[in-house]
Amino acid sequence: MKIVIQNVTRASCEVDKKIVGSISRGFCLFVGFTNGDNKKLVEKMSNKLLSLRLFDDKNGKTNLSLKDINGEILSISQFTLYASVKDGRRPSFVNALNPKEACELYDYFNQCLKDAGYKVETGIFGAMMKIDLVNDGPFTTILDSKELF
């Protein structure tokens, strides 16, 4: 599982010219799954994500968590996080989890975040989405389960 985390002042997701998810200050997440990912790993990753201190305090130090700033989450499924361009010039997606299982884990991930008390907006799994965001900093962090657990 990979999560690209962007600190944002605002973010929204549009599908078919309609806004389907929108947040103010918080995290815009791009979430991808690979073979072997499961609910237990999703729980570990959501806990890790929510424990991170990625926002500046009054002294400009990254000491504040999403909870500390009363932040919101826009979660976007993105199988392309597992694209490989090792061979050739066109990406291969063989490392991305199949859509049925990935959708189930994506929904479970978002539910874990909601159950932890956060406002979570989403895109639409598998849809062509247009993401509009203002990256605050810019500040982008990547969580990769293969490196963490």
Catalytic residue set: 78-80
What is the spatial distance between Cα 84 and Cα 104, in angstroms, rounded to a whole number? 23
- Name the residue with tokens 């500390």: 68
Comparing CA positions, the residue from 82, 112, 120 lying closest to residue 99 is 82
**Residue 35: φ, ψ to 5°:** -55, 135
Three-state secondary-structure class, residue 141? strand
What is the spatial distance between Cα 51 and Cα 60, in angstroms, rounded to a whole number? 19
Comparing CA positions, the residue from 95, 74, 77, 83 lying closest to residue 28 is 74
